[in-house]
Structure 1
Amino acid sequence: MCNATRDIMDCMFEVHSEILGDVDDIPQTNEPVWILGKRYNAIQDLYQIRQDIISKLWFTYRKNFVPIGGSEGYTTDKGWGCMLRCGQMVLAQALINFHLGRDWLWEPDSRDSAYLKILKKFEDKRGAPFSIHQIAAMGETEGKAIGQWFGPNTVAQVLKKLIKFDSGNQIVIHVALDNTVVISNIRDLCCVSVTDSIKIDWKPLLLVVPLRLGLSEINSVYIKGLKKCFQFKQSLGVIGGKPNLALYFIGYVGNEVIYLDPHLTQRSGSVDNKLTDESKELDASYHCKYASRMSILEMDPSVAVCFFCPSESDFIDLCQNIKDKLIEEEKQPLFEVIYEMPTEWLITSDSVATGSDIAGGSQESDKDEFEIL
Structure 2
Amino acid sequence: EATAQQPIEQIFGEGIEGFKSDFISKIWMTYRREFPTMSGSTFTTDCGWGCMLRSGQMMLAQALVCHFLGRSWRWSPEKLIQNAREFQEDCLHRMIIKWFGDKSSVNSPLSIHHMVRLGETLGKKPGDWYGPASVAHCLKAVMIAASKENYEFDSLEVYVAQESTIYIQDVYSSCRLPNSSWKSLILLVPVKLGTDKFNPIYGPCLTSLLTLDFCIGIIGGRPKHSLYFVGYQDDRLIHLDPHYCQEMVDVWQPNFSLQTFHCRSPRKMPLSKMDPSCCIGFYLPTQHDFETFVNVITSFLIPQGVSANFEYPIFTLNSGSRSAVMDPPNIRYSIYETEQNWVSPNLHDSDTD
1:129 equivalenced with 2:109 (yes/no)? yes
Contact 1:60 1:266 in 2 (8 A): yes
How far apart, in 1, do the equivalents of 2:331 and 2:177 lie?
20
1:216 equivalenced with 2:191 (yes/no)? no
* 1:87 matched residue in structure 2: 56
Cα shift at 1:33: 4.9
* 1:50 matched residue in structure 2: 20
How far apart, in 2, do the equivalents of 1:189 and 1:286 lie?
32
* 2:350 matched residue in structure 1: none
Cα shift at 1:274: 4.7
**Which consecutive unaligned segments of at least 5 residues does structure 1 have?**
1-30, 195-199, 364-373
The CA deviation string for residues 235-254 of structure 1, in whole angstroms up to 9 with x for no partner, is 01100010110000011111
The CA deviation string for residues 81-135 of structure 1, in whole angstroms up to 9 with x for no partner, is 0000001001111110000000111132555111111110001010110111111
The CA deviation string for residues 199-248 of structure 1, in whole angstroms up to 9 with x for no partner, is x1111111111111112211111112111211222101100010110000
1 or 2, which has the higher strand percentage? 1
Out of 168, 177, 189, the position equivalent to 1:183 is 168
Letter in structure 2 aligned against 1:309? L
**Cα distance, 1:34–1:347 mapped onto 2, change above 3 Å:** farther
Letter in structure 2 aligned against 1:326? L
What percent identity do the matched residue pairs reach? Answer: 34
How far apart, in 2, do the equivalents of 1:235 and 1:305 lie?
8
Cα shift at 1:350: 6.4
How far apart, in 1, do the equivalents of 2:158 and 2:181 lie?
16
Contact 2:194 2:276 in 1 (8 A): yes
How far apart, in 2, do the equivalents of 1:97 and 1:287 lie?
16
How far apart, in 2, do the equivalents of 1:305 and 1:96 lie?
17
Contact 2:24 2:76 in 1 (8 A): no
Cα shift at 1:341: 3.6
Letter in structure 2 aligned against 1:122? F
Out of 60, 65, 72, the position equivalent to 1:103 is 72
Cα root mean square deviation, aligned: 2.4
Letter in structure 2 aligned against 1:86? S
Letter in structure 1 aligned against 2:93? Y
1:149-298 mapped onto 2 (5 Å cutoff): 149-166=129-146, 167-168=150-151, 169=153, 170-194=155-179, 200-272=180-252, 274-275=254-255, 279-280=256-257, 283-298=258-273
How far apart, in 2, do the equivalents of 1:354 and 1:145 lie?
14
Aligned positions, number: 317
1 or 2, which has the higher helix percentage? 2
Cα shift at 1:362: 5.6
Letter in structure 1 aligned against 2:110? F
Cα shift at 1:358: 5.3
State TM-score, norm by structure 1: 0.79
* 1:15 matched residue in structure 2: none
Letter in structure 1 aligned against 2:298? K
Contact 1:34 1:230 in 2 (8 A): no
Letter in structure 1 aligned against 2:291? I
Letter in structure 1 aligned against 2:328? I
Task: Point out the more displaced range, 234-243 or 102-111.
Answer: 102-111
* 1:321 matched residue in structure 2: 296
**Cα distance, 1:262–1:328 mapped onto 2, change above 3 Å:** closer
1:35-74 mapped onto 2 (5 Å cutoff): 38=12, 40-41=14-15, 45=16, 47-70=17-40, 73-74=42-43
Decide which structure has the larger Cα Rg and report it.
Answer: 1
* 2:349 matched residue in structure 1: none
How far apart, in 1, do the equivalents of 2:318 and 2:329 lie?
19
How far apart, in 1, do the equivalents of 2:72 and 2:201 lie?
32
**Which consecutive unaligned segments of at least 5 residues does structure 2 have?**
1-5, 82-86, 346-353
